[in-house]
Amino acid sequence: MKILFHVQHLLGIGHDRRAALVARGLAGAGMAVTLLRGGHAVPGVDYGPARVIQLPPVRAADAGFKTLLDEEGKPIDEAWRRHRRDAALRAFNDVAPDLLLVESFPFARRAFRFELIPLLEAAKAAGVPTACSVRDILVAKPDPARVEEVVGTVERLVDTVLVHGDPALIPFGATFPAAARIEDRIRYTGYVAAPAAPVIAEGDGAGEVVVSVGGGAVGLPLLRAALAARPLTPARDAVWRLLAGPDVAEEAMRPLRAAAPAGVIVERARPDFPALLARCRLSISQAGYNTVLDLLQAGCRAVVVPFAAGSETEQATRARLLEARGRLTVVEEAGLTPESLAAGVARTLAAPPPAPIRLELDGAARTARLLAAAMGA
């Protein structure tokens, strides 16, 4: 069974990392996966045996997502769009998949209608089943016309909507108000989480405060705030480890390293991040999908500062749900200061250890089973 999987990340790297887990899960179920990647390369992402076709890469200019830039840093134009659409359709014809899987669209990635609508239409014309892979929580869409557009696209072009979440935490309808109208197509996969790392008590991270920002595209303010907050917290004598992702430029790393006193380590993000969390005294991070799953599996105390620039609501929604269950502490990004972050650290360290939350975390394997059923296997 051959699957063509279209993936486009624009700013953070969470979409790409989740897609890689899904791709490995599909391959593990015996499926031949071709990843049609539209973003820039992400160091360290493991797609397993999947074949990768790189489309002309594009990224967002900033957290507003209004301007998209090509690989030379120039705004994309109609000629670029036609070129990418044609490349995507060639890939579809070359692969001749048994199923087309599209990440996020039509619930997000609306700026890529120019290639995704033709791609989905090509699959429908060829009698190829189609599916959308979407995370548990959507960014709020206040425009009713936008919601209607999404529903219409699903009804016309998408056979299965795979929601990578667990309704025990949040049903899809909580952030997509028209979910009931496409209920017959929605399938919950559980959360797509990396396999839990074996717990080893000794090593880096033990007793530390681990500060992380995912890929780091919008994480510098949190790293700077954490550095300044350390002497204001009850954990001032602990080692603080600041992890800057691949999107933090080296010229931004140098001032952080220069300002770091004894007991503060500034380094790049590490592949053993889950193991660091499992050993740490406290985690400070944003609240992206993948990071939160790492926190839940590690069971550590956590302070999160949800990314909330522009119209972003996804991280804040997830974080507040988990704060209400006593699982973590939220410090708002708006008005973030060393003092507000230090207060969040103090509250978290004074609270009882967080209780485990039972969630379905085998989303990659369940995605494979659901897609096999969609293909009649």
Alpha helix positions (H), 133-243: 144-157, 220-229
Rounded Cα–Cα distance for residues 147 and 161 (Å):
15
What integer pLDDT is reported at residue 85 of this predicted model? 97
What integer pLDDT is reported at residue 139 of this predicted model? 86
What integer pLDDT is reported at residue 102 of this predicted model? 98
What integer pLDDT is reported at residue 358 of this predicted model? 87
SS3 241: strand
Q: Are 5 and 25 in contact (CB under 8 A)?
A: no
- Residue corresponding to tokens 């199923």: 99
Q: Are 151 and 182 in contact (CB under 8 A)?
A: yes
Q: Are 213 and 219 in contact (CB under 8 A)?
A: yes
Q: Are 328 and 305 in contact (CB under 8 A)?
A: no
Where do the domains of the chain lie?
A: 2-191+361-374, 209-350
What integer pLDDT is reported at residue 377 of this predicted model? 66
Give the CA distances from residue 145 to residues 113, 151, 336, in Å, rounded to whole numbers and listed in that order. Answer: 16, 10, 34
- Arch. (CATH architecture) of 209-350: 3-Layer(aba) Sandwich (3.40)
The percent helix, strand, coil of the chain (3-state, each to 5) is 40, 15, 45
> What is the torsional sign of CA 67, 68, 74, 77?
negative
pLDDT < 50 regions, the chain: none
Give me the count of residues in the chain. Answer: 377
What integer pLDDT is reported at residue 134 of this predicted model? 96
Rounded Cα–Cα distance for residues 78 and 225 (Å):
41
What integer pLDDT is reported at residue 5 of this predicted model? 98
Give the CA distances from residue 181 to residues 151, 154, 172, in Å, rounded to whole numbers and listed in that order. Answer: 8, 10, 12
Rounded Cα–Cα distance for residues 206 and 200 (Å):
9
What integer pLDDT is reported at residue 66 of this predicted model? 82
Rounded Cα–Cα distance for residues 57 and 361 (Å):
31
Look at strands 2-7 and 32-37 and give their pairing.
parallel
Superfamily (CATH) of domain 2-191+361-374: Glycogen Phosphorylase B; (3.40.50.2000)
Per DSSP, what are the bridge partners of residue 187? 162
Rounded Cα–Cα distance for residues 190 and 6 (Å):
21
209-350 shares the fold of 2-191+361-374:
yes
Rounded Cα–Cα distance for residues 171 and 194 (Å):
22
What integer pLDDT is reported at residue 142 of this predicted model? 77
Per DSSP, what are the bridge partners of residue 330? 304
The CB-side HSE value for 38 (13 A sphere, CA atoms) comes to 29
